Amino acid sequence: MYPQGEKAETNWALTVLGYLAKLILGILGLIVSIAWVAHIVIYLLINPPLSPFLNEVFIKLDDIWGLLGTVAFAFFCFYLLLAVIAGAMMLGLRLVFITIHPMKWGATLMNSFLFNVGLILLCSISVIQFCSTAFAYYAQATAAQEIFGHTLQSLRGIKYLYKYNVFQIGFIALAGLTFVYYAAFGWRRRKPSGKFQLSN
């Protein structure tokens, strides 16, 4: 376990600090994930909402300092986007039993890489829409709320998806299934090749 060589102590200190950072980030991620799920249940699924929850937290943070609520709002949105990116990198576009353009450690083709970038860009619009719905009380009277809130929810054909909270229920269901999957099977270790490499 203890590294050998000229800089053994430095490498050991960096290893320990790396594990501590992973522990702290893991606990922070767990807290943010629980806050997200609780916010969706309390504010979006129950009609009328029990509480504005995170919306009220952001407003109170704005009262403390002008940009603090905006920073917290951006952090929650960015965390959701990072979760989407992590899922896209892990699964790719999986259709039942086949995967289209998978990201393979050390063997990612250029067209697969570009396809997954396009998939993530497409998902980022969905994340913006989801955040504008989840934080509608905080983001009221903004351009994002006008575009992704009132205008999108009144489109013919898809307005029923918003009326019956299909996206929010799907989010909670997938979060629950993911939790059960990782509780049962654990996190599969990736090959220790480092970064994605483009193959010719």
Q: In this structure, what token pair is assigned to residue 122? A: 């497409």
pLDDT (0 to 100) of residue 45: 87
pTM of the full predicted structure? 0.78
Q: How far apart are CA 80 and CA 86, in angstroms?
A: 10
pLDDT of residue 69: 92
Q: Is residue 41 part of a domain?
A: yes
Side-chain half-sphere of 92: how many Cα atoms within 13 Å? 18
Which structural domain, as residue segments, surrounds residue 40?
Answer: 32-183
8 Å CB contact between 77 and 127: yes
pLDDT of residue 193: 45
Residue 1 inside a domain? The answer is no
pLDDT value for 5: 67
Look at residue 15 and tell me if it is in a domain: no
User: Which among 22, 186, 190, 189 is positioned nearest to 108, based on CA atoms?
Assistant: 190
Q: Is residue 61 part of a domain?
A: yes
Instruction: Identify whether 77 is part of a domain.
Output: yes
As for how many domains the chain has, the answer is 1
The one-letter amino acid code at 57 reads: V
Residue 9 lies in a domain: no
- Judge whether 24 lies within some domain: no
| Residue ranges for the chain with pLDDT beneath 50 | 192-196, 200
> Is 130 inside any structural domain?
yes
Q: What residues contact residue 143 under an 8 Å CB cut-off, 6+ apart?
A: none
